[in-house]
Chain A
């Protein structure tokens, strides 16, 4: 099947070229970082995780969200999703690949990475994250490829794949739960120490991931003869809407607990985010951008006319995706380190090499995504789906 990725229009090759160039820029920046050390980033003794780990966290959510099309199709026989499960699974593959790359570029000693396997440590949440992420990558590659191969031959998928599909459903939930546990179990990091962290992560993931999937479906329809189907897109848009409402509700729960109890360390993170703390306010514009975009997107999705019109739906989905990217991919991780354990504030701003590496990883992920989608779409066109 992979040969289908070798034949494509000029535009397809141009897109691949752009992504390869961005990958190259990121890779060179990474070599520079390897040589100089993580000093080339904006991270510090106080803010010891930055944009890499934040991107990782956000993308775990995008990966997990594949379950939002897989579950209805395989457990509830929602037929509309039959055409797009492959798009969800291949999106998961690309997203998990990016997660693993973001972890890799964040390590101080990436060459020692396999120590995690050589000295397995079950009391570390990071150990479990390694297991669930790699397992999820494996599951989605196998399921996606096997089901698509069968589809190409126009035969039903082999029976042995069914258990893998069923396992992949709770597995998707597990990757984001374990990722939330990375943060939610640390004493002294008040902003992260919340029992609803995993629930918040899953809710925002099930909004951001499917929103991206809708945008990808619209692009696929535009550039190929394969139509993912208006009904499927409409169904996914309702998932985005409900998940977005739950996400905002969870943020409100956090705000209530913090500000009604008036306990300083419950409030500090949110104060830093939305108005600034001790005169430090780097994330204030970002936090408001998140809040405003999230509310506008939700209101748009609530109006059936806006949701049914695919042009306005695309705008709403873009707002959902960007707002939740800000929440998880910018503010959530960094604010966990503010204030530091001494109640003072060191702010964080990513550097140019750090941003180049970040863009490079995203580009590599989209390179994987483009190739996988090309294969999927070619098969769909071939069989006239």
Chain B
């Protein structure tokens, strides 16, 4: 009895030391190397190497922005909580809040009051992915920063990590509050539970079917938001960026946003 106890403790001690000596460098190297999932996309799916959006602010007005926001809300059954617990994937704000630190003291009035569309930047170097302890948020090979609401433990570390305020938390149960009184517009979108984080996924589910993101489609006529592959030199987004001066939000933080604004 005494002997086996001692032996057990010895083994325990050795295994503790073993865990301690796995070099963290190796462990760090293990991440990000993740192999591509073994699946083939649907034949008509949109495939790209680095998806991006170019927002042409000159073409944005109250009406276009509302159209884009409404399309997103309908596609993802986003509840309208009008308080500090709101859930939003795409929304508007003024220049000084979108580009803090880049405000000129005397802005042209049309810029100062213009509604800027905000959404997840699908950063090339996303801090939210870096901090997530369960890989519930991760980056796809085509650059989309994804979110699995069914793996998320609701620690909200990603919300602290995101410098763009792009993430929302389900403080209350939208299904049993808001959608109890309203008809969910999209019956194919999965039910969201309370206690998990969510955000724009660049309509990954639509891309898989060969459709462009809902917000882009909603304002297609005005070309106020253009979707495309930054790695493709002939894409429309590259064309726009060649011809216009465009800025990104907080580039100094090194997250490398993939949403561009033509001002």
Contact = CB atoms under 8 A, between A and B. Distances in A.
Interface of A: 36-39, 43-46, 48-49, 103, 106-110, 112-113, 115-116, 118-119, 121-127, 130, 135, 160, 163-164, 167, 182-183, 186-189, 264-265, 336-337, 340-344, 346
B151 A39 contact: no
Interface of B: 9-10, 13, 16, 20, 24, 27-28, 30-32, 84-86, 93, 96-98, 100-101, 127, 130-136, 151-157, 159-165, 168-173, 193-197, 250, 253-255
A124 B255 CA distance: 16
A342 B169 CA distance: 17
A116 B171 contact: no
B169 A160 contact: no
Contacts of B154: 38, 107-109, 112
B100 A37 contact: no
A170 to B, nearest CB: 10
Given A45-B86, A186-B127, A38 B195 contact: yes
B10 A160 contact: yes
Given A186-B127, A187-B255, 17 more contacts: A36-B173, A39-B172, A107-B154, A107-B195, A108-B196, A109-B193, A112-B151, A115-B151, A119-B134, A121-B133, A123-B32, A124-B157, A186-B131, A187-B127, A341-B162, A342-B93, A343-B97
B87 to A, nearest CB: 8
Query: What 7 pairs between A and B have smallest CB-CB spacing?
Result: A108-B154, A188-B163, A108-B195, A44-B84, A37-B194, A342-B97, A122-B27
Question: Dominant SS at the B interface?
Answer: loop
A108 B169 contact: yes
A160 B8 CA distance: 12
B100 A343 contact: yes
Nearest to A108: B154
Nearest to B254: A187
A127 B160 CA distance: 16
A46 B133 contact: no
Contact of A126 (B10, B133, B172): B133
Contacts of A163: 13
Highest count of chain A CB atoms <10 Å: which of B24, B27, B135, B155: B155
A51 B152 CA distance: 21
Highest count of chain A CB atoms <10 Å: which of B16, B133, B162, B194: B133
Contact of B30 (A36, A49, A122): A122
Contacts of A121: 31, 132-135
A341 B30 CA distance: 32
A30 to B, nearest CB: 13
Contacts of A188: 127, 162-164, 250, 253
Contacts of B194: 37-39, 108
Contacts of A189: 160, 163
Highest count of chain B CB atoms <10 Å: which of A106, A109, A135, A344: A109
B177 to A, nearest CB: 9
A70 B221 CA distance: 71
A5 B168 CA distance: 47
B224 to A, nearest CB: 21
A204 to B, nearest CB: 21
Nearest to B152: A109
Given A49-B156, A107-B154, A122 B31 contact: yes
23 contacts: A37-B195, A38-B171, A39-B172, A44-B85, A45-B169, A103-B155, A108-B194, A115-B134, A116-B133, A118-B134, A124-B130, A124-B131, A127-B133, A135-B16, A164-B13, A186-B127, A187-B127, A187-B163, A187-B253, A265-B101, A342-B100, A342-B165, A344-B97
A25 to B, nearest CB: 22
Contacts of A341: 100, 162-165
Given A108-B196, A109-B154, A341-B162, A115 B136 contact: yes
